[in-house]
């Protein structure tokens, strides 16, 4: 299972909200972190999040059994390892 | 996490050499308005060929001080084409590294930040860059010695969870640099393990 952690701070919440729009994605909390999980890939469209680059490129706190295969100005793609 | 008593009280002073004391006083005292608060005029002594020197200090707020050494008769080591008067680098050294070492001075408000911007912009050392990072806004310039100076304000207070996150990052980094795969991917994997181990119980512990 793909698992991505993001810290619960105001700058990150739009990213989590966009990820949560995918029906295959579940979001819950581990302490002050959002855990974004899916059986397959997680893809987040940066423009949909409205995030500035500095936020976007520092938003990932942790990856469990997952790897980043795309992290650019367009999107973030996390896949299971 | 460290449980040692934490009793230090900020920066007493940080010291840099200068070969341009006139420019340095003009920049920090006359342009930025940082008072000169202390100085030492000392004859050289000791086993080395130590030159006579002036050690002078500017108040940078909060009782913290920025100090300079001026050595009489000591010429700057002329090596490299970029960097500052203390550290020179050849052209093949990337700017991200050359600019990594810098001094950031805190202000409380947008009004204060813009006032320092105004002072710099009216001088020979105008603001080179004004940037909003994630949670701070900063202005940058180089002082007469080539030192990279930032003045910054917080856009919001740092939250307690960011302190937890910083500690997990530090622990993950220390673990990863000891291992065979020193990479961002390895760090994010190790940090996820630490989040699972330690973050779930964090909120109740804060109450």
CATH code where residue B20 lies: 3.10.180.10
Grouping H, G, I as helix, E, B as strand and the rest as coil, residue B120 is: helix
Q: Are residues B133 and B169 in the same domain?
A: no
Q: What pLDDT is recorded for position B50?
A: 87
Does B70 lie in the same domain as B165?
no
* pLDDT at residue B48 in the model: 76
Q: Measured between CB atoms, does B207 come within 8 Å of chain A?
A: no
* B194 vs B168: CA distance, rounded Å: 6
**What domains appear along chain A, each with residue ranges and CATH number?**
2-80 (3.90.56.10)
| B2 located within any domain | no
Mean pLDDT on B105-127: 98
Determine the 3-state secondary structure of B202 from DSSP: helix
Q: Tell me the three-class secondary structure of chain A, residue by residue.
A: CEEEEEECCCCCHHHHHHHHCCCCCEEEEECCEEEEEECCCEEEEHHHHCCCHHHHCCCCCEEECEEEEEECCCEEEEEEC
Question: Distance between CA B124 and CA B122 in Å, rounded?
Answer: 7
List chain A residues with CB under 8 Å of B188. 60-63, 68
Distance CA A25, CA A17 (A): 11
pLDDT band for B2, please (50, 70, 90 cuts). low
Nearest-neighbour CA in chain A from B13: distance (Å): 31
The answer to whether residues B108 and B177 belong to one domain is: no
pTM across the whole model: 0.88
Q: Which of A9, A54, A58 sits opposite B159 (nearest CB)?
A: A9
Q: Are A54 and A46 in contact (CB under 8 A)?
A: no
Q: Are B86 and B132 within one domain?
A: yes
- The count of domains in chain B is 2
| pLDDT 10s digits, B157-172 | 999 999 999 999 999 9
**Is-contact B119 B151, C-beta < 8 A?**
no
The answer as to whether B60 is a domain residue is yes
- Domain of B181 in residue numbering reads as 160-200
**Do B75 and B30 have their domain in common?**
yes
B43 in A contact zone (CB under 8 Å): no
B59 and B109 fall within a common domain: yes
Contact (Cβ atoms closer than 8 angstroms) between residue B89 and residue B98? yes
pLDDT band at B102 (very low <50, low <70, confident <90, very high): very high
The predicted-structure confidence for A12-53, as pLDDT tens digits, reads as follows 999 999 999 999 999 999 999 999 999 999 999 999 999 988
Same domain, B119 and B40: yes
Say whether B156 and A10 touch across the interface (CB within 8 A). yes
Q: Specify the pLDDT at position B79.
A: 83
- In this predicted structure, the answer to whether residue B203 has a pLDDT above a threshold of 90 is no
Asked whether B34 and B107 are in contact (CB, 8 A), the reply is no
Same domain, B78 and B142: yes
For residue B12, give the nearest of B60, B54, B53, B55 by alpha carbon.
Answer: B60
| ipTM of the prediction | 0.92
B186 with B145, same domain: the answer is no
Mean pLDDT, range B192-206, rounded to an integer:
83
Choosing from B154, B170, B192, the residue where a domain stops is B154
Whether residue B141 sits in one domain with residue B170: no
CA distance B192 to chain A (A): 4
Is B7 part of a structural domain of the chain?
no
CA distance B1 to chain A (A): 17
> pLDDT tens for residues B32-50?
999 999 999 999 887 778 8
User: Do residues B177 and B75 share a domain?
Assistant: no
Same domain membership, residue B171 and residue B123: no
């Amino acid at each position: 299972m793909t698992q991505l952690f993001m810290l619960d701070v105001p700058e990150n919440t739009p990213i989590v909200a966009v990820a949560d729009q995918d029906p295959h994605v579940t979001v819950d909390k581990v302490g002050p972190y959002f855990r974004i999980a899916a059986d397959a890939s997680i893809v987040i469209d940066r423009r949909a999040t409205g995030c500035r680059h500095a936020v976007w490129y520092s938003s990932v706190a942790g990856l469990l059994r997952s790897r980043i295969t795309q992290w650019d100005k367009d999107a973030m793609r996390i896949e299971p390892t | 996490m460290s449980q040692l008593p934490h009793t230090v009280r900020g920066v007493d002073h940080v010291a840099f050499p200068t070969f341009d004391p006139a420019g340095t006083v003009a920049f920090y005292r006359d342009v930025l308005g940082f008072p000169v608060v202390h100085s030492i005029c000392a004859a050289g002594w000791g086993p080395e060929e130590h030159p006579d020197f002036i050690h002078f200090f500017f108040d940078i707020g909060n009782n913290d001080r920025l100090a300079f050494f001026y050595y009489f008769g000591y010429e700057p080591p002329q090596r490299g084409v970029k960097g500052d008067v203390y550290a020179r680098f050849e052209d093949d050294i990337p700017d991200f590294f050359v600019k990594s070492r810098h001094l950031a001075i805190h202000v409380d408000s947008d009004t204060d930040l813009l006032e320092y911007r105004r002072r710099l912009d009216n001088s020979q050392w105008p603001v080179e860059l004004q940037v909003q990072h994630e949670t701070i806004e900063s202005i940058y310039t180089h002082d007469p010695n080539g030192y990279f100076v930032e003045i910054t304000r917080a856009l919001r207070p740092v939250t307690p969870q960011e302190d937890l996150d910083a500690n997990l990052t530090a622990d993950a980094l220390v673990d990863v640099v000891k291992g065979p795969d020193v990479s961002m991917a390895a760090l994010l994997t190790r940090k996820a393990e630490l989040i699972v181990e330690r973050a779930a119980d964090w909120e109740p512990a804060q109450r």
